[in-house]
């Protein structure tokens, strides 16, 4: 019997690593093609906002405020939409993944023709939905957009498990390490494609998003899998 039998598919390591790959890819893409800004890693945007504020470069301050503000809007949207989905009895995680995919499709279509601000607004909105929707890995909290907490938890859990001879804690630490590695792989892949194809590299993100959508759909419709 699988020890992960009772976990939903979006809490599994396979889906979590793909989601974190998506995050790494998205953040590297926006950093390279959108003026050093991050779709999801708001700590970097906040630092840059304060830095350019200190220099008095207010156009740059505005540039970095855009993803921060739309990340906030994404939180408002996620809270409201999740309540609506649950009240109607709809499957929230699949719906959320579908919404993310639709907005990435919009960004893919618009990015070559519109201001960078519009691209950043859409992608920060997507990152915000992702980070709030998918928060559990085998029942434990993790982050699939920002890595600071993951680095801390991977080290802490693995070392505590080693000292206390607790295999479950060691496994949790290793699982989070895989999350960190998948984020890094996403950054590497995105960097190569973004340097080669520029803003058109965003289209590649649709492939892992499609995979996540299919996995979540199959969980609700197992006879189709």
pLDDT tens for each residue of 185-212 = 999 999 999 999 999 999 999 999 999 9
What value does the mean pLDDT of the chain take?
A: 90
From 147, 136, 214, 215, select the one nearest 182 (Cα to Cα): 147
pLDDT number for residue 225: 43
Alpha carbon distance 84, 27 (integer Å): 29
What pLDDT digit, counting tens, does each position of 66-75 carry? 999 999 999 9
pLDDT number for residue 221: 67
Alpha carbon distance 46, 32 (integer Å): 18
Element (H, E) at 63: helix 58-88
Helix axes 206-220, 92-110, angle to 10 degrees: 160
With the C-alpha atoms ordered 139, 104, 208, 71, is the resulting torsion angle positive or negative?
negative
For residue 163, what are the contacts with CB-CB under 8 A and spacing of at least 6?
none
pLDDT number for residue 151: 87
pTM of the model: 0.90
pLDDT number for residue 101: 97
Give buried/exposed letters for 184-203 (b at 16+ CB in 10 A, else e): eebbebbbebbeeeebebbb
Q: Which residues of the chain have pLDDT under 70?
A: 1-7, 221-225
pLDDT number for residue 1: 35
Q: Which residues, listed in sequence order, are joined to residue 221 by a DSSP beta bridge?
A: none
pLDDT number for residue 223: 52
Q: Are 108 and 206 in contact (CB under 8 A)?
A: yes
């Amino acid at each position: 019997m699988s020890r992960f039998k009772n976990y939903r598919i979006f809490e599994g390591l396979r889906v979590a690593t793909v989601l974190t790959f998506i995050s790494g890819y998205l953040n590297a893409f926006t950093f390279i093609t959108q003026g050093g800004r991050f779709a999801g890693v708001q700590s970097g945007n906040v630092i840059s906002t304060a830095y350019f504020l200190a220099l008095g470069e207010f156009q740059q301050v505005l540039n970095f405020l855009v993803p921060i503000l739309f990340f906030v809007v994404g939180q408002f949207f996620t809270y409201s939409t999740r309540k609506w989905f649950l009240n109607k009895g709809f499957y929230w995680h699949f719906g959320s993944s579908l919404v993310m995919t639709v907005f990435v499709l919009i960004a893919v279509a618009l990015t070559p023709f519109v201001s960078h601000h519009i691209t950043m607004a859409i992608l920060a909105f997507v990152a915000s939905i992702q980070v709030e929707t998918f928060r559990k890995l085998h029942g434990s909290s993790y982050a699939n957009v920002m890595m600071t907490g993951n680095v801390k938890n991977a080290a802490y859990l693995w070392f505590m498990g080693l000292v206390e001879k607790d295999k479950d804690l060691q496994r949790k630490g290793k699982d989070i390490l895989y999350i960190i590695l998948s984020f890094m792989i996403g950054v590497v892949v995105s960097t190569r494609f973004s340097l080669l194809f520029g803003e058109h590299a965003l289209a590649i993100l649709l492939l892992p998003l499609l995979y996540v959508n299919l996995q979540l759909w199959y969980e609700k419709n197992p006879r189709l899998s």
